[in-house]
């Protein structure tokens, strides 16, 4: 992998972040950090649930106590960002204030209160030889997090990893480097008050781009990488990583309004699915309206009146003159904006075929009052999340009752959909015998 | 990836197997096969449990009916293998006869009788918004199997993939090419009798090495690759694959005889762990004897008298003059032979440290009558399988009551230890609402 890695991804907004390390030096650095993290993780694994929860509560308190320092460091990042011409949206993502810091600390406390998945017995059986088998959840090991400008990820991701017994190696965006170091210092101070080794939560000591390449190559040293950020970042990490990656690239989410949909529900749910927040991965990007649904014009008008631009096929355009013409690419586009593609389909078969072809496997929904149509949709749509009569914007670990999420995964192995503490564990088989030899 | 892939792995025993396809042509071939497999998998997914079981029973019957043809094709492979100077052990692995064919057919029937994991509800919850959430097991999609000379893998792997609702793309060893095609033809005939699309089980139509590279590069088309074969094959697949790989490389399994071990049990279990079959991944490769265990000489003599060569550290050598001297590499060696490394350790701490350093994370065992020592070992040893008072040779999906196994995994994500039908599934989230919009 060349040191050009992530060169043009959103990760590197700051041109001052260059690659000066050789790949070999980057690999050595990552190996050293990873071995320290893994050693700390083994110590943590022996400490039990209460210590992990206490460490997060201490970290929250330390972060609150460090507020003046964190905000001062954040101001340095903001000044630099303004000087470098960062866009206002980027500056807003970067910005911390008392309220945001307090909510980061509260999130640490909330994660401390989540049930610990480690030690859970997934299943148990006694086999004819008399061996007693249990599958027991254990931490994965060392998790790498590669993220962009939001400094809250430093705390959020660290908390989820620690709560599930893992060590974490963090690599945040260069724009937020001072904020991240200040938050990290507070977290570590809290951990140490609980007796947890500081190396459980490490922040890369350099912003050198080559070190990111080292993380992606570190198979066997880092067990899993979670990229948190825009599509450019995720695509590069997925393309270049030799370490397993937990992520989703696109959220091209569909809502299919079935012929038997309640018209009022269809209008309110589609409006929410698109317009509540247009920039999140669970936002609807394509609306499929059954040709037999009688109230299409009301659904479409609800969206247009709320300020959404609609791009449709010819039959959709016939519903409302304000609907523009969709191009072939629209059906595969994640707008993350007040834009929606709309197609009219002839029944469930056509809706399922459209979704099979264009969905990114994130979240797809049907609106229907017909139970059989609902069950068919739930069974046949092969996405991480399939919904009946609900807004796709519910695709979220918090809304799913998971407490928090490290991300949403559309890969097919390990964990799928919103990934929280359980997705940060693996299991081992414990076998208890009485001297059995195999025949 | 160059076409040199797998050049010197055990996969290519036959020098006639060359790479003449360009990488681009190999990628096109694999893409075509994968898309056919994926389309067939979607049809299979709609067919229900009974059809899958019936298809395997028809396949078993078809295989029995095709016995003369399969054995004739196997004879061609054997003739060619002899002409090419294949080792007797290799020829034995390749060889089929009526009894072996019958046992392959019986294995298909056994898999047909296993409970279907697809559709199982892993968990269910209703969240405060009133949404009802279920996590439901679904097939992974298309599995690639890359294997060596044993033709039974053609049937065994296909059966496990089909039973769990997946399509499979098989690439067997060149030495077994005629046998594999004959078995594959019988399987497909059976599937078609049950109405299952033939493309659910595909065998690569070429032995061209470049096609293997195409499989390994086919991220997004093949969901998971399972290499079945020797270390050379597994190492190459792990090193080069861009598709997730389920595998283990080494089985460096330890047995720790604790000070409180029952001496008779220690002798019988270690003898079985090493000598029952020396060539399997669950065979013990290192014996750790506690310095406080009083009957070390009996345990050691049991192994030596059974024909095992022992290589020890200085303290182990002092137990019996027949113990040779271990080199530093011995502690990291998977002998797969009647050879064992032996070390004397000072208590559980030292045993755990040795295992943490040298275990391959496959299977490690303690022999002890002390419950606390047993629980500590089960908790602290970070291997896929940890055992108390049992032979490491029990590390096997059949012995674990899983019915069969596609392999044993030492990776930390997705599935760990013996992997059977459940490990060939993923899950999706089904969300049932009543018109909820997100606040």
The model's pLDDT over B25-57, given as tens digits with 9 standing for 90+, comes to 999 999 999 999 999 999 999 898 999 999 999
Residues of chain B found within 8 Å of residue A348, distances taken between Cβ atoms: none
- Verify whether the Cβ–Cβ distance B433 to A387 is below 8 Å: yes
Give dist(CA A150, CA A368) in Å, integer: 38
Q: Flag whether pLDDT at A12 surpasses 70.
A: no
**Quick one: pLDDT at residue B14?**
41
Backbone angles phi, psi at B226, to 5 degrees: -115, 110
Q: What is the pLDDT of residues A182-214, one digit of tens each?
A: 999 999 999 999 999 999 999 999 999 999 999
- Verify whether the Cβ–Cβ distance B435 to A138 is below 8 Å: no
Helix spans in A256-359 (H):
263-275, 296-305, 314-317, 347-358
Residue in chain B closest to A241 (alpha carbons) equals B242
Residues of chain A found within 8 Å of residue B129, distances taken between Cβ atoms: 394, 399
Instruction: Domain A253-394: state its class.
Output: alpha beta
Residue pair B239/B268 in contact (Cβ under 8 Å)? The answer is no
Q: Flag whether pLDDT at B10 surpasses 90.
A: no
Q: What is the pLDDT of residues B137-179, one digit of tens each?
A: 999 999 999 999 899 999 999 999 999 999 999 999 999 999 9
CA within 13 Å, CB half, A319: 30
- Verify whether the Cβ–Cβ distance B386 to A127 is below 8 Å: no
Residues of chain B found within 8 Å of residue A434, distances taken between Cβ atoms: 389
- Which of A262, A272, A378 lies nearest to residue B437, judging by beta carbons? A272
Instruction: Determine which of A386-390, B130-134, B228-232 has the lowest per-residue pLDDT on average.
Output: B228-232
Q: What are the structure tokens assigned to A280, written together?
A: 């999140």
- Verify whether the Cβ–Cβ distance A140 to B412 is below 8 Å: yes
Tell me how close the Cα of A303 comes to any Cα of chain B, in angstroms. Answer: 14
Question: What percent of chain A lies above the pLDDT cut of 70?
Answer: 96
Instruction: Determine which of A1-10, A105-114, A287-296 has the lowest per-residue pLDDT on average.
Output: A1-10
**Quick one: pLDDT at residue A4?**
31
Q: Flag whether pLDDT at B131 surpasses 80.
A: yes
Q: Flag whether pLDDT at B12 surpasses 90.
A: no
Cα–Cα nearest to B363, from B298, B274, B245, B230: B274
Report how many Cβ contacts below 8 Å link chain A to chain B.
189
- Where does the pLDDT of residue B17 fall: very low under 50, low under 70, confident under 90, or very high at 90 and above? low
A23-240 against A253-394: fold identical: no
Give dist(CA A431, CA A127) in Å, integer: 10
Tell me how close the Cα of B434 comes to any Cα of chain A, in angstroms. Answer: 5
- Verify whether the Cβ–Cβ distance B129 to A394 is below 8 Å: yes
- Which of B138, B380, B438 lies nearest to residue A391, judging by beta carbons? B438
- Verify whether the Cβ–Cβ distance B138 to A262 is below 8 Å: no
Tell me how close the Cα of A416 comes to any Cα of chain B, in angstroms. Answer: 7
- Verify whether the Cβ–Cβ distance A413 to B417 is below 8 Å: no
- Verify whether the Cβ–Cβ distance A374 to B432 is below 8 Å: yes
Residue pair B219/B243 in contact (Cβ under 8 Å)? The answer is yes
- Which of B356, B387, B416 lies nearest to residue A427, judging by beta carbons? B416
Mean pLDDT for the stretch of residues A285-306: 98
Give dist(CA B431, CA B433) in Å, integer: 6
Tell me how close the Cα of A2 comes to any Cα of chain B, in angstroms. Answer: 16
- Where does the pLDDT of residue A89 fall: very low under 50, low under 70, confident under 90, or very high at 90 and above? confident
Q: What is the pLDDT of residues B214-256, one digit of tens each?
A: 999 999 999 999 999 889 999 999 999 999 999 988 999 999 9
Task: Give the CA distances from residue B386 to residues A119, A425, B368, B390, in Å, rounded to whole numbers and listed in that order.
Answer: 14, 17, 13, 10
Residues of chain B found within 8 Å of residue A430, distances taken between Cβ atoms: 378, 386-388
Q: What is the pLDDT of residues B277-292, one digit of tens each?
A: 999 999 999 999 999 9
- Where does the pLDDT of residue A235 fall: very low under 50, low under 70, confident under 90, or very high at 90 and above? very high
Tell me how close the Cα of A369 comes to any Cα of chain B, in angstroms. Answer: 9
Q: What is the pLDDT of residues B397-435, one digit of tens each?
A: 999 999 889 999 999 999 999 999 999 999 999 999 999
Instruction: Determine which of A18-22, B12-16, B212-216, B276-280 has the lowest per-residue pLDDT on average.
Output: B12-16
Mean pLDDT for the stretch of residues A43-48: 91
- Verify whether the Cβ–Cβ distance A435 to B388 is below 8 Å: no
Burial of A83 (0-12, 13-18, 19+ CB in 10 A): exposed
Residue in chain B closest to A242 (alpha carbons) equals B242
- Which of A271, A428, A438 lies nearest to residue B391, judging by beta carbons? A438
Tell me how close the Cα of B425 comes to any Cα of chain A, in angstroms. Answer: 8
* Domain segments of chain A as ranges: 23-240, 253-394
Tell me how close the Cα of A72 comes to any Cα of chain B, in angstroms. Answer: 34
- Among B275, B413, B434, most A C-beta atoms within 10 A, so best to mutate, is B413
Residues of chain B found within 8 Å of residue A224, distances taken between Cβ atoms: 412-413
Residue pair B194/B221 in contact (Cβ under 8 Å)? The answer is no
B23-240: CATH superfamily? Aldehyde Dehydrogenase; Chain A, domain 1 (3.40.605.10)
**Quick one: pLDDT at residue B404?**
82
Residue in chain A closest to B46 (alpha carbons) equals A380
Q: What are the structure tokens assigned to B407, written together?
A: 């392999």
**Quick one: pLDDT at residue B222?**
98
- Verify whether the Cβ–Cβ distance B387 to A269 is below 8 Å: no
Q: Flag whether pLDDT at A277 surpasses 70.
A: yes
Tell me how close the Cα of A143 comes to any Cα of chain B, in angstroms. Answer: 11
Residue pair A418/A400 in contact (Cβ under 8 Å)? The answer is yes
- Which of A131, A273, A413 lies nearest to residue B244, judging by beta carbons? A413
- Which of A127, A417, A426 lies nearest to residue B399, judging by beta carbons? A127
Burial A32-61 (b: 16+ CB within 10 A, else e): ebbebbbbbbbebbebeeeebbbbbbbbbb
- Verify whether the Cβ–Cβ distance B394 to A129 is below 8 Å: yes
**Quick one: pLDDT at residue A306?**
98
- Verify whether the Cβ–Cβ distance A431 to B271 is below 8 Å: no
Angle formed at CA B197 by CA B195 and CA B202, multiple of 5 degrees: 140
Residue in chain A closest to B240 (alpha carbons) equals A242
- Verify whether the Cβ–Cβ distance B437 to A224 is below 8 Å: no
- Where does the pLDDT of residue A17 fall: very low under 50, low under 70, confident under 90, or very high at 90 and above? low
Q: Flag whether pLDDT at B13 surpasses 70.
A: no
Q: Flag whether pLDDT at A360 surpasses 60.
A: yes
Which residues neighbour B429 within 8 Å (Cβ) at sequence distance 6 or greater? A384, A385, A386, A400, A416, A417, A418, B133, B134, B135, B136
Tell me how close the Cα of A220 comes to any Cα of chain B, in angstroms. Answer: 9
Mean pLDDT for the stretch of residues B295-323: 98
Residue in chain B closest to A363 (alpha carbons) equals B429
Q: What are the structure tokens assigned to A320, written together?
A: 């409302």
Mean pLDDT of chain A: 93
Q: What are the structure tokens assigned to B167, written together?
A: 């399509």
What value of ipTM does the predicted structure carry? Answer: 0.92
């Amino acid at each position: 992998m060349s040191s050009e890695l992530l060169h043009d991804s959103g990760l590197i907004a700051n041109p001052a972040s260059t690659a000066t390390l050789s790949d070999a030096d980057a690999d050595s650095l990552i190996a050293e950090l990873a071995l320290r993290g893994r050693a700390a993780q083994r110590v943590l694994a022996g400490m039990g649930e209460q210590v992990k929860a206490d460490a997060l509560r201490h970290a929250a308190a330390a972060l609150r106590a460090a507020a003046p320092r964190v905000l001062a460091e954040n101001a340095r990042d903001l000044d630099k960002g303004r000087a470098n011409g960062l866009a206002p949206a980027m500056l807003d993502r970067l910005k911390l204030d008392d309220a945001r810091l307090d909510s980061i600390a509260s999130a640490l406390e909330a994660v401390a209160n989540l049930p610990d998945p480690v030690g859970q017995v997934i299943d148990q059986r006694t086999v004819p030889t008399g061996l007693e088998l249990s599958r027991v959840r254990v931490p994965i090991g060392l998790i790498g997090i590669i993220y962009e400008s939001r400094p809250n990820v430093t705390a959020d991701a660290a908390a989820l990893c620690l709560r599930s017994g893992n060590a974490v190696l963090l690599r945040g965006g260069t724009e937020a480097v001072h904020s991240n170091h200040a938050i990290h210092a507070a977290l570590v101070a809290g951990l140490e008050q609980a007796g947890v080794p500081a190396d459980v939560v490490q922040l890369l000591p350099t912003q050198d781009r080559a070190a990111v390449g080292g993380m992606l190559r570190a198979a066997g040293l880092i067990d899993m990488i979670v990229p948190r950020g825009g599509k450019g970042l995720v695509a590069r990490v997925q393309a270049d990583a030799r370490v397993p990656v937990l992520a989703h690239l696109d959220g091209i989410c569909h809502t299919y309004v079935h012929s038997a949909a309640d018209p009022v529900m269809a209008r309110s749910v589609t409006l929410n699915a698109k317009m509540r927040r247009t920039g999140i991965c669970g936002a609807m990007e394509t609306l499929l309206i059954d040709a037999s649904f009688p109230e299409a014009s009301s659904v479409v008008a609800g969206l247009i009146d709320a300020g959404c631009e609609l791009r449709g096929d010819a039959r959709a355009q016939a519903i409302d003159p304000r609907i523009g013409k969709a191009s072939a690419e629209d059906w595969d586009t994640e707008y993350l904006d007040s834009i929606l593609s709309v197609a009219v389909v002839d029944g469930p078969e056509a809706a399922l075929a459209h979704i099979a072809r264009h969905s990114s496997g994130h979240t797809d929904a049907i609106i229907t009052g017909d139970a059989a149509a609902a069950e068919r949709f739930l069974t046949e749509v092969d996405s991480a999340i399939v919904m009946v009569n609900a807004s796709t914007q519910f695709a979220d670990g918090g809304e799913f009752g998971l407490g928090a999420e490290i991300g949403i995964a559309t890969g097919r192995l390990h964990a799928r959909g919103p990934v929280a503490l359980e997705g940060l564990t693996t299991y081992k088989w414990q076998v208890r015998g009485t001297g059995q030899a195999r025949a």
